[in-house]
Amino acid sequence: MFKRKKKSKEPDEFKFPIPMYYLARFFYNHFKFNMKLGNWETKCLKKKLEKITIRNPIFVMGFARAGTTVTVEMIGKHSDVAYHKYLHLINSFIPHWLQKVANMVPIVFKKPVVRLHKDSLLVNRDSPEAVEETIWMRFIDSVQNENVSNILDTSTSNSEFENFYKNNIKKLQYNQKGSRYLTKNNYNVSRIKYLEKLFPDLRLIIIIRHPVNHIASLIKQDRVLGELETEDKRLLHWTQLMGHREFGTYKLIVNFNDNEKVKLIRNLWENKKTCVEGWAIYWKWTYEYLLNLLKEDKDLAAKTLILRYEDLTDKSEEAIDKIVEHIGLSHEDFKPIKEEYVTKLTQPKYYKPSFSESELKKIKEITYDIAKIYDYYK
């Protein structure tokens, strides 16, 4: 599935195991059965889970293609951290049992390959992945409906979801022997206040990137996913099933309580001549919402680190130290990971922005007020 030609002397490209696709489709299409399995696993582990505390969970987020994946990959190298893996795409509801089964089949998807996005990141079944969205969307219908506000805040309440979500996190911590939970989920940008309600001691990392390079990456990724969907129609279903709908035919817009703006972005995306403008408006809308949220809530702001992608790649030592300090991990323990990623974190070289002068002018015009806060457009 999703097979592409190999390049000589380079890592293989991602080929999604067909059994994984059909297993995941079965589980997520039978939600009640899936939930029963998850609750059964929780019941079996009850005594062990009662001893586990969710302390300072780490939530990494931003606009897609901001550098959230590599940030989570790096933090996930620390032995104290537990997270969802590519493996859990099969079934995120039973992470402990699934891992035990996988341990008995050690050869499947163990070799690192270039991920589906066709970027420089290598993944295998143990790599961190944005999996928790499968839980959100199966308990809260509105989270992937752009026709309504996607904002979840302190007024939001869903005890069934909250209990299941917390137990799921504890099961990951138990299975991976980690004292801290780590996740990357860019849809969480509209759920920050709700997350803080559930986890008052949370730590947030928000990645921001220069709008020109960011929008270029977004458009490239949207094109890549569109081409892959044409090659294999199962990918269309997979993106819906997993809730990975940031790109491609069925991409969704996170609605920050403005239906008219959603319609505007949609209309701009429909025309190649105005597509760039649509992405620029969406970029500004996302980061403007986040910045206003933090501006209005000083306590939340103290729990949040806003990091520029360019500092992550160009001033890696300083950026990594800020991350480690903010999330409360040991600098000494993180030292070997830091040494690895100081050389690994670099600007992408496999593509370059190719906007016209008018498109560059439009991007700057739309994003300037937010971008200048972070020393872009000096």
Question: What pLDDT score was predicted for residue 107?
Answer: 55
Give the span between the Cα atoms of 165 and 95, in whole angstroms.
12
State residue 306's pLDDT score.
Answer: 97
How long is the chain? Answer: 378
The total of other beta-carbon atoms located within 10 Å of residue 100's CB is 11
Contacts 24+ apart (CB under 8 A), 192-197: 192/290, 192/293, 192/300, 193/152, 193/153, 193/154, 193/293, 193/297, 193/300, 194/152, 194/153, 194/154, 194/156, 195/59, 196/154, 196/300, 196/303, 197/153, 197/154, 197/156
Which of these, 98, 116, 83, lies nearest to 16 by C-alpha position?
A: 116
Hey, what domains does the chain have and what are their CATH numbers? 18-374 (3.40.50.300)
Question: What gap in Å lies between CA 94 and CA 97, rounded to an integer?
Answer: 6
pLDDT at 14 > cutoff 60: no
Question: How many other CB atoms sit within 10 Å of the CB of residue 166?
Answer: 18
Encoded amino acid at 164, one letter: F
Mean predicted confidence (pLDDT) in 369-376: 95
| Residue 4: pLDDT band with limits 50, 70, 90 | very low
At 281-316, the pLDDT tens digits run: 999 999 999 999 999 999 999 999 999 999 999 999
Which amino acid, one-letter code, is at 183? T
Residue 3 in this model has a pLDDT that exceeds 50: no
Average per-residue pLDDT for the chain: 89
User: What is the average per-residue pLDDT within 187-193?
Assistant: 97
Residue 204 host element (H or E): strand 203-208
Q: Which of 112, 114, 89, 83 is nearest to 102 (CA)?
A: 89
Percent pLDDT > 90 in the chain is 69
- Distance, in Å, from the CA atom of 304 to the CA atom of 59, rounded to the nearest integer, reads 9
pLDDT at 134 over 60: yes
- Name the residue among 176, 185, 73, 178 with its Cα closest to residue 128: 73
Residue 193 has pLDDT above 90, yes or no: yes
Q: How confident is the model at residue 6 (pLDDT cuts 50, 70, 90)?
A: very low
pLDDT band at 102 (very low <50, low <70, confident <90, very high): confident
How many whole angstroms separate alpha carbon 50 and alpha carbon 63?
35
Task: Judge whether residue 82 has pLDDT over 60.
Answer: yes
Token reading at 263: 């319609």
Contact 27, 152 (CB under 8 A): no
pLDDT of residue 153 exceeding 50: yes
Share of the chain above pLDDT 70, in %: 88
| Mean pLDDT value of segment 145-174 | 97
